[in-house]
Structure 1
Amino acid sequence: MIVTAPEKKQRVPSAYNRFIKEEIQRIKASNPDISHREAFSTAAKNWAHFPHINYGLKLDANKQTNLPGEGTTKSNGFY
């Protein structure tokens, strides 16, 4: 008797997954000679410094930022 593992459901890609995929493509387009490992490393570093607003992530509840077209908001925290 052969036992097979049940099929895994495919998950929706996370914001990080979408960012990394797009960023690696962008990096390789501008520098075709770069290795995939270097492009991935650069993309991961870019993620660390990227404003995650465009990827559906919620900001910290104590921090507020001005989004384009939303006018000004006041910070609830310290300066």
Structure 2
Amino acid sequence: MTVSTGIWILIVVIGVLVGLTGGFFGARHYMQNYLKQNPPISEEMLRSMMMQMGQRPSEKKLHQMLNSMKAASKNDNK
């Protein structure tokens, strides 16, 4: 049973394409879950940013900003 060189090349190319596609979507899914569990901006970071801008952040204002950022990120994912 002999398989021609052209078929081997085709099998290798298909395997590489499937691997790259699977790797891309796997990494994308992993990063989305990671960022969802570990958001890049925490409440403490937001508080310090507001204080650096000269604002005195209240708890209500902080929660409003965090909720609006979460809502914006949900809309981006849709």
Query: What TM-score results when the alignment is normalised by the length of structure 1?
Result: 0.31
Larger Rg: 2
Query: What TM-score results when the alignment is normalised by the length of structure 2?
Result: 0.31
Normalized per residue, which structure has more helix?
2
Question: Using CA pairs below 8 Å that are at least 6 residues apart, which structure has the higher relative contact order?
Answer: 1
